[in-house]
Amino acid sequence: MTATSADLRARAEEASAALPGLILSAERLAAMVAPGTHGLRRAGTGEDFWQYRPAGTGDTARAIDWRRSARSDTQFVRDREAQSAQTVKLWVSTGKGMAYGGSQSRPTKAQRAQVLALAMAMVLLRGGEKVGLLGHPARQGRFQAGFLARSLASAPIADEDSDAPAPDDLRPNQRLIIISDFLSDCDWVEPLLTRAAGLGVSGVLVQVLDPDEESFPFQGAVAFRSLAGQQRHDSRDAAGLRDEYLMRLARRRDWLRSHAELAGWYFNHHGTDQAPAHLLGWLYQILGR
């Protein structure tokens, strides 16, 4: 967690550079409550030019665009594109287990999760969406990226092995991106998804894992400890546990995926040895769908 917010932001910028600004899918635009700078491909209130149209009755003289009108005999009104904004909330696990990095050459899971979250936030902010951390207000604009970077980088690591998002922070008509390792206690997932489905909140579960956690490269006598020291397992033949462990991990993922799909959510997992752009691309597709 030594990364300062500037570092974090730089890495996130790098990761998100390839993606154009994302405009969330207009799936639920009809039910949009919060107006925002979301281009709706139709005339309305907004800032960007949409079209010139002949002035009709009811258009005030102020509304007439005189420069355009001067080129012809009729009066024109300059319409702007109707805009509104989606709200996306981010939640990154700060459990102690996230501080794990199997090798010096790899970032810890927490670092990678923060990069992913911030990169996604930048893509969204570029698209004009409102982005915020779960439990904090969502805002638009470039400065929000800096705020998010600071918040993520300064988020304290919990003493517990895992932590969970508070379901009460969910608000209707949001999108939620949850990034965690989903290794320790995952009981919170099910209630959260249930409540989210009820509130019409859709989102993504992203599991960030270290390669060591995916391959279990241990052998011989090993005393395993969780990073917070809360859990332990002593083995005299760690290699013999590998198959069992991998099976359990796969089962955990299946469970997460099935629950997510039931709630209309999406699930994916990401290894810290992979480039963050892979997952960003996937998120881009999912959220823009």
Give dist(CA 160, CA 97) in Å, integer: 8
**Please, what is the minimum distance in Å from the beta carbon of residue 283 to another protein?**
23
Q: Cα separation of 171 and 174, whole Å?
A: 6
User: Of 40, 55, 64, 241, which lies in the binding site for another protein, with binding defined by CB under 8 A?
Assistant: 241
Among 159, 237, 254, 261, contact with another protein (rule: CB under 8 A): 237
Interface with another protein by CB under 8 A: which range of 133-141, 152-160, 178-186, 269-277? 178-186
Residue number, 216 or 282, with CB nearest to another protein: 216
Q: Where would I find the beta strands (DSSP E) of the chain?
A: 39-43, 49-54, 76-83, 87-92, 130-133, 174-180, 202-209, 222-225, 232-235, 266-271
Q: Of all helices (H) and strands (E), which one includes residue 114? A: helix 109-126
Is 187 one of the binding residues for another protein (CB under 8 A)? Answer: no
Choosing from 41, 42, 233, 278, the residue that interacts with another protein (CB under 8 A) is: 233
Looking only at residues 250 through 289 of this chain, which bind another protein when binding is defined by CB under 8 A?
Answer: 252
Which of 12, 161, 165, 205 touches another protein (CB under 8 A)?
A: 161
- Pick between residue 96 and residue 269 the one whose CB is nearest to another protein: 96
Is residue 160 a contact residue for another protein (CB under 8 A)?
no
Q: Would you call 172 helix, strand, or coil by DSSP?
A: coil
Residue 264 identity (one-letter amino acid) = G
3-state SS track over 94-112: CCHHHHCCCCCCCCCHHHH
Determine if 225 is a binding residue for another protein (CB under 8 A).
Answer: yes
CB atoms within 10 A of CB 12: 26
Question: Could you give the dihedral angle defined by the CA atoms of residues 144, 129, 115 and 202, in that order, rounded to the nearest 10 degrees?
Answer: 130
Q: In the structure encoding, which two tokens stand for residue 20, read together?
A: 């154009």
Residues 96-135 that bind another protein (CB under 8 A): 96-98, 100, 109
- The number of helices, as runs of H, and strands, as runs of E, in the chain is 8, 10
Cα–Cα distance for residue pair 278/86, rounded to 1 Å: 24
> What pairing do the DSSP bridges indicate for beta strands 174-180 and 232-235?
unpaired
Rounded to a whole number of angstroms, the minimum distance from the CB of residue 231 to another protein is 4
Asked if residue 227 binds another protein (CB under 8 A), the reply is: yes
Identify which range of 131-139, 152-160, 213-221, 275-283 contacts another protein by CB under 8 A.
213-221
Q: Where are the beta strands (DSSP E) in 64-144?
A: 76-83, 87-92, 130-133
Of the residues 80, 212, 255, 257, which one makes contact with another protein according to CB under 8 A: 212
Number of residues in contact with another protein, rule: CB under 8 A?
A: 37
Min separation Cβ 22 and another protein, Å: 31
Using the rule CB under 8 A, is 41 a contact of another protein? no
Q: How far is the CB of 12 from another protein (least distance, A)?
A: 23
Give the residue, chosen from 137, 166, 224, 278, that forms a contact with another protein under the rule CB under 8 A: 224
Pick from 131, 140, 123: nearest CA to 282: 123
> Residue 234 has what DSSP assignment?
E
Residues 22, 117, 123, 249: which binds another protein (CB under 8 A)? 249
In the complex, the residues that contact another protein under the rule CB under 8 A are 96-98, 100, 109, 161, 181, 183-185, 210, 212-213, 216, 218, 220-227, 231-237, 240-241, 244-245, 248-249, 252
